[in-house]
């Protein structure tokens, strides 16, 4: 009997070691890891640059709190400000995606109240976290229901529907539109370029902010630093996490100086500590050194193509995503959880994003041989489950 609270439906696997895109369980069995820490393991397991950076930081100075400045945090903030397309950016550090989104919501709500526009438009099917505010902003009623009533700041509209957005903004009380450019937990569904550009235009016309959740798709996972860059759209406020830390907990809010929090308005004891900041710097350095964004794009295209080529007819309805954030929607009568189980039996670990979608978020370092292995396992698993 475990003393761990059952907040996850855990797989019957106990992992004890990892290297690159491979992990081993307590019985010595290897697995190809296409979960990648649910998208957080950007460099894979035990990457030498990352390990060295973390060890050096941990042996130099521990947690200092944010009452003082540390060099790793300052350097990381400068790197994020330079890479993230936000006007005159300032960075707030925290420990997770939910915390980054919580900070984002507080910040845009503060601005909206000041401007007399307290409402925030969010998308049906979205997922922004499990804290109180982020859950209230999540467009999946079954996740909100056990905790309602929640905050009443939010107005939900269907993704991709600009007419619905116009209707939601018609009253003139909307201070921000908050969205994921690629809906992650909502089935790995990229929003169309025309829609994202239409949202930006409507925010500009209304004087509202465009706030984007790049927790799952950002920091290179979609093949660009931010997934919204593919639509040539500049957001006003951005949340980051997951792939940023390469396996250590760190989140970030990037916002214009004009919107920033002042002393005492928001805080995080552990946010941007020396060790996770050093880890994130190592991730950014390796992305640049090894041209990993090009690899993310190439391997994402290859994995999609090979699975599509090998999968038995009728076993896949759709393949969606961007870069190495991929969703494989199973065909009629096939449950995603059954495919996950069949893949695990073949030594491949994946997750789900809804009842019918198998999600793959492997490390950015995945290579052609591993893609080939994964695609063949997918085809075999789909064939067995369909039979």
Give 250-264 pLDDT, tens digit per residue.
Answer: 999 999 999 989 999
176-215 residue pLDDT tens? 999 999 999 999 999 999 999 999 999 999 999 999 999 9
Question: From 3.10.450.50, 3.90.1150.10, 3.40.50.720, 3.40.50.300, which CATH number describes the 15-33+291-386 domain?
Answer: 3.90.1150.10
269-280 residue pLDDT tens? 999 999 999 999
Question: Angle CA(370)–CA(287)–CA(279) in degrees, nearest 5?
Answer: 105
Quick one: pLDDT at residue 57? Answer: 97
Let me know: does 203 contact 117? Beta carbons within 8 Å. Answer: no
In Å, how far are 33, 123, 139, 187, 332 from 355, measured between CA atoms?
21, 19, 16, 9, 12
pLDDT at 246 over 80: yes
Question: From 1.10.10.60, 3.40.50.720, 3.40.640.10, 3.90.1570.10, which CATH number describes the 49-289 domain?
Answer: 3.40.640.10
In Å, how far are 46, 99, 115, 159, 238 from 259, measured between CA atoms?
38, 18, 12, 27, 12
Pairing label, strands 348-349, 189-190: unpaired
User: How are strands ordered across the β-sheet holding 22-25?
Assistant: 15-19, 22-25, 30-33, 348-349
CA distance 284 to 245: 9
CA distance 15 to 211: 37
- Across the chain, what does the average pLDDT equal? 97
Quick one: pLDDT at residue 201? Answer: 98
Nearest to 262 by CA among 71, 81, 114, 44: 114
Quick one: pLDDT at residue 2? Answer: 86
In Å, how far are 35, 64, 380 from 214, measured between CA atoms?
18, 28, 33
* The model's pTM: 0.96
The pLDDT of 298-319, averaged and rounded, is 98
Looking at the chain, which residues constitute the CATH 3.90.1150.10 domain(s)?
15-33+291-386
66-89 residue pLDDT tens? 999 999 999 999 999 999 999 999
Quick one: pLDDT at residue 267? Answer: 95
For the chain, what percentages of helix, strand and coil (3-state, to nearest 5) are there? Answer: 40, 20, 40
Residue at token pair 């009842």: 355
SS3 for 213? strand
Quick one: pLDDT at residue 1? Answer: 66
């Amino acid at each position: 009997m475990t003393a761990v609270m059952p907040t996850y439906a855990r797989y019957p696997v106990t992992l004890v070691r990892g290297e690159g895109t491979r992990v081993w369980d307590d019985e010595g069995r290897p697995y190809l890891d296409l979960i990648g820490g649910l998208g957080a393991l950007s460099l894979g397991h035990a990457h030498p640059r990352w390990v060295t950076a973390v060890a050096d930081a941990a042996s130099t100075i521990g947690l200092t709190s944010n009452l003082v400045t540390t060099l790793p945090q300052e350097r990381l903030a400068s790197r994020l400000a330079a890479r993230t397309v936000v006007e005159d950016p300032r960075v707030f550090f925290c420990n997770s995606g939910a915390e980054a989104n919580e900070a984002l919501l507080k910040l845009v709500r503060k601005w909206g109240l000041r401007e007399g526009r307290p409402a925030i438009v969010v998308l049906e099917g979205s997922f922004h976290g499990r804290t109180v505010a982020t859950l209230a902003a999540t467009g999946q009623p079954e996740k909100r229901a056990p905790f309602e009533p929640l905050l009443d700041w939010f107005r939900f509209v269907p993704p991709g529907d600009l007419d619905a957005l116009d209707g939601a903004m018609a009253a003139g009380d909307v201070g921000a539109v908050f969205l994921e450019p690629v809906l992650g937990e909502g089935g790995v569904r990229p929003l169309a370029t025309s829609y994202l550009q239409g949202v930006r235009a409507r925010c500009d016309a209304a004087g509202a902010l465009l706030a984007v959740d790049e927790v799952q798709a950002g920091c290179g996972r979609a093949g660009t630093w931010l997934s919204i860059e593919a639509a040539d759209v500049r957001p006003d406020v951005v949340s980051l996490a997951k792939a940023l830390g390469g396996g250590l907990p760190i989140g970030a809010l990037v916002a214009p100086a004009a919107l920033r929090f002042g002393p005492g308005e928001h805080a995080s004891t552990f946010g941007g500590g020396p060790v996770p900041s050093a880890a994130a710097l190592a991730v950014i350095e390796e992305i640049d050194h090894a041209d990993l964004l090009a690899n993310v794009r190439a391997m994402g295209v290859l994995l999609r193509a090979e699975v599509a080529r090998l999968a038995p007819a009728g076993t896949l309805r759709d393949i969606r995503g961007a870069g190495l954030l991929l969703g494989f929607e199973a065909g009629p009568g096939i449950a995603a959880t059954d495919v996950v189980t069949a893949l695990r039996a073949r030594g491949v670990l994946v997750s789900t994003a809804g009842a019918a979608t198998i999600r793959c978020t492997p490390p950015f370092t995945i290579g052609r041989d591993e893609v080939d292995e994964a695609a063949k396992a997918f085809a075999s698993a789909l064939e067995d489950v369909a039979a």
